[in-house]
Amino acid sequence: MKALWIIAKRELSGFFTSPVAYVFLVIFLLIAGFLTFTAGAFFERGEASLAAFFGWHPWLYLVLVPAVGMRLWSEERRAGTIELLLTLPVTPWQAILGKFLASWLFLALALALTFPVVLTVNLLGEPDNGAILAGYFGSFLLAGAYLAVTCMTSAMTRNQVVAFILAVVVCLFLILAGFNPVTDLLVRWASPAAVDTIAAFSVVTHFDGFQRGVIDTRDLLFFVSVMGFALFTTGVILRGHRAG
């Protein structure tokens, strides 16, 4: 655990040694605010909830999370430091989890900085703060799932742009699998059981429960499974580089 946290601390401090992290935080907050209050018609809804805020998160994270995670392993491969890292007295899993946790904590910070939205809805009405807390928890898991996928694609290539594009494509599939216009189209060509099976792989399907304030173990297991599978695949890819 000590080695894991050393790597996480090193990676997290690396975010703030350049202005990129601060630029990302500003862009994240600006886009989140625009999607909530303008595109989401927050005030026009006339309800004390953050549905206009959380509803955009699968799409908001689609670009911003891969932008954070694309450099995790591709930069190590490009600079040739991956061989040095893998020869240090740490296991590949410690390196993988350390880098992943650092980036996930950075995303958690970005999410926490949206607290003015919570203050606003509480000043204007009497929202269900339990549902809001569940929504934040679900959003944190959603960001973790996207980040784990990006970690996997970053390990595949030394080109950050390629890692970014691959992550966006995979995450887009995880959205569209349960996106209503897509499922409505699939119903015309496939059986309802097949459509439900495809929708079960969608982050939208499992994130909806958190938005409503319901923490279902099946939804929790889905996000944990996505993260576990993506990080396991990352480990397999890195072991291949190490063997090579």
- What is the DSSP-derived secondary structure letter of residue 132? H
Per the CB < 8 A criterion, the answer to whether 35 and 55 are in contact is no
Q: Rg of the Cα trace of the chain?
A: 19
Q: Is 48 helix (H, G, I), strand (E, B) or coil?
A: coil
Residue found by looking up tokens 């989140």 in the block: 32
**Buried b or exposed e, range 113-147, using 16+ CB within 10 angstroms:** ebeebbebbeeeeeeeeebbebbbebbbbbbbbbb
Number of structural domains in the chain: 1
Q: Which residue has the tokens 């090579």?
A: 244
Tokens of 147: 């980040």
C-beta of residue 58 within 8 angstroms of C-beta of residue 175: yes
Of 167, 161, 155, nearest to 231 by C-alpha is 155
pLDDT of res. 2: 77
pTM, whole model, 2 decimals? 0.91
Confirm if 141 and 57 have CB atoms less than 8 A apart: no
Q: Which domain holds residue 208?
A: 2-243
Q: What percent of the chain has pLDDT over 90?
A: 55
Structure token pair of residue 153: 């694609």
What's the pLDDT tens digit per position in 94-148?
Answer: 889 999 999 999 999 999 999 999 999 999 889 999 999 999 999 999 999 999 9
